[in-house]
Amino acid sequence: MAEKSGADILVEALCDLGVEVVFGYPGGAVLPIYDAMFRSGRIKHILVRHEQAATHAAEGYARSTGKPGVVLVTSGPGATNAVTGITDALLDSIPMVVITGQVPTSLIGTDAFQEADTVGITRHCSKHNYLVKDPARLGAVIHEAFHIATSGRPGPVVIDIPKDVQVATARYVKPGVIQHKTYRPQVKAPQSEIEQVVDMLAAAERPILYTGGGVINAGPAASQLLCELARITGAPVTSTLMGLGAFPASSPQFLGMLGMHGTFEANMAMNQADLVVAIGSRFDDRVTGRLDAFSPNSRKVHIDIDRSSVNKNVRVDLAIIADAGHAMEDMVRVWKARQHPKPDTSDWWRRIAGWRAVKSLDFPESGTEIMPQRAIRALWEATHARSPIITTEVGQHQMWAAQHFGFEKPNKWLTSGGLGTMGYGLPAAIGAQLGNPKALVIDIAGEASIQMNIQELATATQYRLPVKIFILNNEYMGMVRQWQELTYESRYAESYSDSLPDFVKLGEAYGWKGIRIEARGELEDGIRAMLDHEGPVIVDCRVAKLANCFPMIPSGAAHTDMILQANEVSGTMDDEAKALV
């Protein structure tokens, strides 16, 4: 068997693993790899304009297709620019393999040109990382990295490859089935634990299914199983930000998102439940609020593939370490085998109906001014029949999109949850469009956040990607301004977006179509013009400058301390809502 260069081994291993797209930016420390990819011609390379965008594009590709995203960047600043996206993927459990160049092995530790301790820098923000010093190990490492990135709780894996290893030669033998010596996630739960949670559900009077991104990561079948589990148990379903789409938003059993900007009914049901079954969610602080007041009278079950997430934030009564899909499949099977009747939860649903009647997502409107919530609803009305893929930046617009854009299917909602990364949406939309060429992909953005990676307009132009950007332009870093209003007596320190570009002209400069919407009566026609244009479009939708995102649970407060839209001025729950708690 002939020897090959490390770069050729890398490219062949990627092809063997089914990699079709790589997002990257070349530099001296990865030129041998770029040359090998060019000679091979088997992998499509997407040239981004910044390495952070490469990681977010890979995330968007991964989350919309279920395939791992792949990134290729050079050493030093190439690797450090990728750190934000690596951390984002770790917190949101996104399968990604990031290949970084490194200075030759003989120069490591000498502060050579464009040297950085990539393994040290990424140790705490990656699921695993490697520094490969022997080309003979490279093939096996690549295969193992993909196994780790996609198995168990998905996440980013970093492979740092010195330049001399890319040039040196070795034999490449495609490995068989990867079985890591120590990393073997438990995907099936013991039968006794499944039976226990089924019995708890059958006996509960006020159950709630609290679902997260782990359901989506478990694959489309898991979402179908969640629907069946909800049907046979009659339990209401709520979702984290990352879990939206795992359960149809149109279902009468769906209470909406819970947590800091969740619905009144979702948060009150969580507070008053006697049984919480958490599936693929991690009890993060944005969901729980004040821990000692979180669902105080409930028994809690936590189903998660990541053992380290269980009992980390909230102590539970039953921990089930398993893949969400496998666990729900077993729960449905046991429930039906035991011929459990659907529990009588009519009293529970009557209480939920009372909370729903508060209509916590309603918002005031007057004159021709566009409320941001209205803009999102208009966008949903015009596009939901096409089942679009929605990405977002981070801020108020992100929360409004989560509240008002109903998702019926998984893998259609791509947003930065755990890290809250401004600049995520546009590159993520590019990655999603590449993975789903025929889909309608829309980035719902804010005028501040979109500027974090706005250079990627050029990437969409270069690869003829018909991405749409819908900017809710209120001229503020809206969420920062809202917190300053509520917490810092309206001292708006540096939250006003001064010197904004003309987004229409900016889009046109990059070869995009630009549209501006300035009044409520223009919404329908403006959105239609965006959808009718075959190429990329950027929409500058001017919305109310001082609108706040409600409902809201202040940081560190309990679910019963929600601020509702109707009582925005007083900042408290109104008497009618209090009576329903």
H helix and E strand count, the chain: 23, 20
User: Which amino acid does the sequence have at 526?
Assistant: G
Q: Is the peptide bond before 372 cis (omega within 30 degrees of 0)?
A: no
User: Which amino acid does the sequence have at 550?
Assistant: F
Question: CB within 8 A of 367, min separation 6: which ones?
Answer: none
- Which of these is catalytic: 3, 38, 44, 113? 113
**Alpha helices in 234-315, H assignment, sequence order:** 264-272, 285-288
> 160 phi and psi, to 5 degrees?
-100, 120
**Residue 18 has which token pair?**
């089914």
- Which of these is catalytic: 12, 51, 144, 193? 51
**Residue 551 has which token pair?**
């409902």
- Which of these is catalytic: 4, 127, 163, 412? 163
Q: Quick check: is 257 catalytic?
A: no
Burial of 534 (0-12, 13-18, 19+ CB in 10 A): exposed
Q: Quick check: is 479 catalytic?
A: yes
Q: Quick check: is 12 catalytic?
A: no
User: Which amino acid does the sequence have at 345?
Assistant: T
Find, among 84, 97, 158, 127, the residue nearest to 420 by Cα: 84
**Alpha helices in 254-323, H assignment, sequence order:** 264-272, 285-288
DSSP calls for 111-162:
T-TT---HHHHHTTTSSEEEE---HHHHHHHHHHHHHHHHSSS--EEEEEEE
**Residue 12 has which token pair?**
């062949």
**Residue 113 has which token pair?**
């040109």
User: Which amino acid does the sequence have at 581?
Assistant: V
Question: CB within 8 A of 445, min separation 6: which ones?
Answer: 392, 393, 397, 425, 426, 469, 470, 471, 472
- Which of these is catalytic: 96, 331, 479, 552? 479
Question: Hey, is 234 helix, strand or coil?
Answer: coil
Q: Quick check: is 51 catalytic?
A: yes
**295 close to 276: Cβ distance less than 8 angstroms:** yes
Distance CA 234, CA 53 (A): 43
- Which of these is catalytic: 114, 224, 455, 462? 114
Q: Quick check: is 163 catalytic?
A: yes
For residue 581, the 8-state DSSP code is -
Nearest 5°: CA angle at 265, between 262 and 271?
90
For residue 549, the 8-state DSSP code is -
Catalytic positions, please? 51, 113-114, 163, 479
